[in-house]
């Protein structure tokens, strides 16, 4: 069984998720957008008090609000589609531009040496955690969703929100690509799949097929 713990972090209230096995002790962190020691501590304290072992950091895409807290985590592999590497490299600069203070140490760069490529990857396994990598460009060129099929859990990043989708007017965004990704990879999932988006509250594929205007007439 896989469970999801949600942490709302940074001024954009990005959803950082700890995904963990209830039968083992494996966990991954998705999109650590923590900007302060306090936000980071909430995540790491949960991992430690639950006696979980952190196996990897998974990034749904390279936008600063999803990746800026990566340097808080030491000695862990970071998975990103390299099409978003430029965005990833710009994360600290973007925070400076938006005057978002970041407390983690960027003096050693963005841990780019530890980046693992997701571009050609279809599945990931970390102990008892297994997920499919759905390649869903549109919000950014390298956007992906993580689908834990057995537990019917989709981590959708900024591809799909409750009632909406991620914007496509930012760097690397493309509306046609996003609509194509929704049609190919998202509406084809079972209605019972629970969706954990990059911002806002969880939903289900079934609910979104009813309420989400971007899923109409695909």
Residues of this chain that bind Zn ion (CB under 5 A): 63, 158
Residue 197 tokens, joined = 């988006």
Mention every residue, 6+ apart, whose C-beta is less than 8 A from residue 113: none
Nearest distance, CB of residue 103 and Zn ion, angstroms = 21
Residue 55 · residue 126 · CB < 8 Å? yes
Nearest distance, CB of residue 130 and Zn ion, angstroms = 25
Closer by beta carbon to Zn ion, 63 or else 92: 63
In the bound complex, which residue of the shown chain has the CB atom lying closest to Zn ion? 63
Nearest distance, CB of residue 62 and Zn ion, angstroms = 8
Distance CA 26, CA 24 (A): 6
Nearest distance, CB of residue 52 and Zn ion, angstroms = 26
Closer by beta carbon to Zn ion, 26 or else 158: 158
Nearest distance, CB of residue 65 and Zn ion, angstroms = 6
Closer by beta carbon to Zn ion, 71 or else 198: 198
Residue 136 tokens, joined = 């869903």
Distance CA 182, CA 89 (A): 27
Closer by beta carbon to Zn ion, 21 or else 177: 177
Distance CA 158, CA 165 (A): 7
Closer by beta carbon to Zn ion, 55 or else 63: 63
Residue 42 · residue 35 · CB < 8 Å? no
Residue 144 · residue 156 · CB < 8 Å? no
């Amino acid at each position: 069984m896989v469970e999801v713990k949600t942490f709302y972090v940074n001024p954009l209230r990005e959803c950082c998720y700890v995904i963990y096995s209830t039968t083992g002790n494996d966990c991954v962190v998705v999109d650590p957008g923590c900007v302060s020691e306090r936000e980071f501590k909430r995540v790491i304290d949960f991992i430690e008090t639950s006696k979980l072992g952190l196996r990897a950091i998974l990034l749904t895409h390279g936008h600063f609000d999803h990746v800026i807290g990566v340097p808080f985590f030491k000695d862990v592999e970071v998975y990103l589609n390299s099409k978003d590497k430029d965005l990833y490299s710009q994360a600290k600069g973007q925070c400076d531009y938006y005057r978002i203070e970041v407390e983690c140490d960027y003096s050693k760069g963005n841990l780019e040496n530890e980046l693992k490529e997701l571009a050609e990857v279809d599945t990931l396994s970390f102990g008892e955690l297994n997920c499919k990598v759905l390649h869903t460009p549109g919000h950014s060129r390298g956007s992906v969703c993580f689908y834990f099929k057995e537990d019917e859990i989709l981590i959708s990043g900024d591809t799909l929100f409750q009632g909406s989708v991620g914007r496509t007017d930012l760097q690397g965004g493309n509306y046609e690509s996003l609509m194509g990704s929704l049609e190919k990879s998202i509406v084809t999932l079972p209605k019972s799949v629970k969706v954990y988006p990059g911002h806002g509250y969880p939903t289900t594929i079934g609910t979104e097929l009813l309420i989400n205007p971007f899923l109409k007439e695909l």
